[in-house]
């Protein structure tokens, strides 16, 4: 989303990276919605940059997981700010081969524009994945196995991931620096305490750490920061014909939600009043209650 012009107080012209023929739309600020203040966003940014730099200083072989969604794009942006315009470690895309065409186009364009050391690693065939899992969980487990293969190939001791506590109950149990076992497993019952920004940034022997720089952000924070920084977005996040995607994943396990929000400002207004969960369009979140935690214990993001 790119800010083109400011008119009268409360009015803005906004342009998204949409197909040719799209036009900018004038939008009046909603009287009820109070966007996060500059100070709030600055504080979030500063904390995340601190986490990035701490991870880079403490870990020997680091990579950033790039899923191409709004959260991981904010992470790329923060990493570039943390390291003066260039990401000093690889961006790893574990590719299921089932993303939306718009996502692959975004990856190809901004992987080059942002000068990323992009590593694209495929996932194993679905037939090799645990058949006892529900369909969407089985598809997600395929990505977990792809990540394990990438870890074995490159020997990373730290993986930066763009999860947030507010998006899903299991992720709310996470830590900023989260130790993983030798197989990438997560022990939900053994999480190190993190008080006053004191982090245990030492990876377990023979294993790795997951680093979560935006764990303390919310969905509204992500969009407000994206708007402020003019971070490019995938147009699927914007409403078309009364629907849009709030969360992006594989085409066969991701569905749009009802929405008329065709700009970031309208998304922020919508979030201020909605009771629909962010991941309502993700099939995985509608399967058995423990499926997501089982996946995360096994190494899912």
Q: Once rounded to an integer, what is the mean pLDDT over residues 48-55?
A: 96
Give, in order, the Cα–Cα distances in Å from 116 to each of 40, 121, 169: 28, 15, 32
Q: In sequence order, which residues have a C-beta less than 8 Å from that of residue 195 and are 6 or more positions away?
A: none
19-23, 25-29, 125-129, 185-189: which has the highest mean pLDDT?
A: 125-129
Please classify residue 282 by burial: count the beta carbons closer than 10 Å to its beta carbon, then call 0-12 exposed, 13-18 middle and 19+ buried: buried
pLDDT at 165: 86
Residue 132 has a pLDDT of 83
Please compute the mean of the pLDDT values over residues 272-278 and round it to a whole number.
77
Mean pLDDT computed over 188-207: 68
The mean pLDDT of 37-65, rounded to a whole number, is: 94
Tell me how far apart the alpha carbons of residues 222 and 214 are, in angstroms, rounded to a whole number: 9
| pLDDT at residue 141, rounded to an integer | 84
Q: Which domains does the chain have, with CATH numbers?
A: 38-217+289-298 (3.40.50.620)
Beta carbons of 237 and 262 less than 8 angstroms apart: no
The position carrying tokens 């949409």 is 18
**Which two structure tokens, joined as six digits, stand for 160?**
């930066």
> Could you please report the per-residue DSSP string of 82-129?
HTTTS--S-EEEEE-S-S-HHHHHHHHHHHHHTT--EEEEEPPPGGGS
More confident residue, 136 or 83: 83
Cα distance between residue 236 and residue 200, in whole Å: 38
Instruction: Report whether 141 contacts 298 (CB < 8 A).
Output: yes
Does residue 290 carry a pLDDT above 70? no
Half-sphere exposure of 172 (CA within 13 A, CB side): 5
Closest CA to 213 of 160, 171, 277: 160
Between CA 8 and CA 15, with CA 11 as vertex, the angle to 5 degrees is: 125
- 183, 148 in Cβ contact below 8 A? yes
- Reported as a single tens digit per residue, the pLDDT across 175-193 is 888 888 656 565 666 666 6
User: Greater confidence, 185 or 14?
Assistant: 185
pLDDT at 105 over 70: yes
Long-range contact pairs involving 272-275 (C-beta distance under 8 Å, separation at least 24)? 272/30, 272/32, 272/33, 272/220, 273/32
Has residue 281 got a pLDDT over 70? Answer: no
């Amino acid at each position: 989303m790119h800010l083109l012009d400011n008119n009268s107080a409360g009015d803005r012209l906004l342009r998204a990276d949409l197909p040719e023929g799209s036009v900018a739309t004038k939008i009046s600020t909603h009287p009820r919605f109070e966007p996060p203040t500059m100070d709030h966003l600055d504080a979030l940014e500063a904390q995340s940059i601190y986490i990035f730099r701490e991870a880079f200083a403490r870990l020997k072989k680091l990579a950033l997981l790039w899923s191409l969604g709004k959260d991981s794009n904010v992470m790329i942006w923060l990493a570039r700010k943390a390291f003066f315009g260039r990401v000093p470690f690889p961006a790893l895309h574990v590719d299921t081969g089932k993303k939306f065409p718009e996502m692959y186009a975004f990856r190809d364009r901004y992987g080059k524009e942002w000068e990323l050391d992009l590593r694209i690693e495929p996932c194993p065939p679905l037939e090799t994945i645990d058949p006892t899992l529900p369909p969407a969980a089985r598809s997600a487990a395929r990505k977990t196995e792809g990540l394990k293969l990438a870890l074995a190939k490159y020997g990373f001791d730290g993986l930066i991931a763009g999860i947030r506590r507010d998006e899903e109950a299991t992720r709310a149990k996470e830590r900023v620096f989260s130790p993983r076992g030798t197989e990438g497993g997560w022990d939900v019952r053994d999480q190190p305490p993190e008080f006053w920004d004191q982090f245990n940034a030492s990876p377990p022997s023979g294993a790795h750490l997951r680093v979560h720089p935006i764990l303390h952000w919310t969905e509204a924070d992500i969009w407000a920061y994206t708007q402020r920084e003019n971070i490019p977005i995938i147009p699927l996040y914007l409403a078309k014909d009364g629907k849009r995607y709030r969360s992006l994943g594989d085409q066969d396990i991701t569905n749009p939600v009802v929405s008329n929000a065709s700009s970031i400002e309208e998304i922020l207004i919508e979030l201020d009043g909605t009771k629909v969960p962010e991941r309502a369009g993700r099939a995985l979140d509608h399967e058995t209650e423990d499926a997501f935690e089982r996946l995360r214990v096994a190494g899912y993001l």
